[in-house]
């Protein structure tokens, strides 16, 4: 997951390929050309957290 063009979250498979937090999109694609890269969506994250919180009430 990218925020402002840099990796902020990744999985074990990405780590195994040498991808690290802070890496730019081009660096990721050079190590993993088929990577599924998504931009962080803060609004969506907030909606999901609120949904879980309301469900727990």
Asked if 39 contacts 3 with a C-beta cutoff of 8 angstroms, the reply is: yes
pTM assigned to the model: 0.77
* pLDDT tens, position by position, 11-30: 999 999 999 999 999 999 99
Task: Grade residue 46 by pLDDT with cuts at 50, 70 and 90.
Answer: very high
Distance CA 22, CA 47 (A): 25
CA distances from 41 to 17, 31, 54 (A): 25, 24, 20
What would the two tokens of residue 4 be? 């402002």
């Amino acid at each position: 997951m990218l925020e402002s063009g840099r990796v902020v979250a990744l999985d074990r498979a990405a780590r195994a390929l040498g991808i690290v937090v802070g890496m730019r999109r081009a660096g990721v694609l050079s190590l993993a050309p088929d990577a599924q890269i998504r931009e962080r969506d803060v609004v969506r994250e907030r909606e999901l957290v609120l949904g879980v919180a309301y469900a727990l009430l």
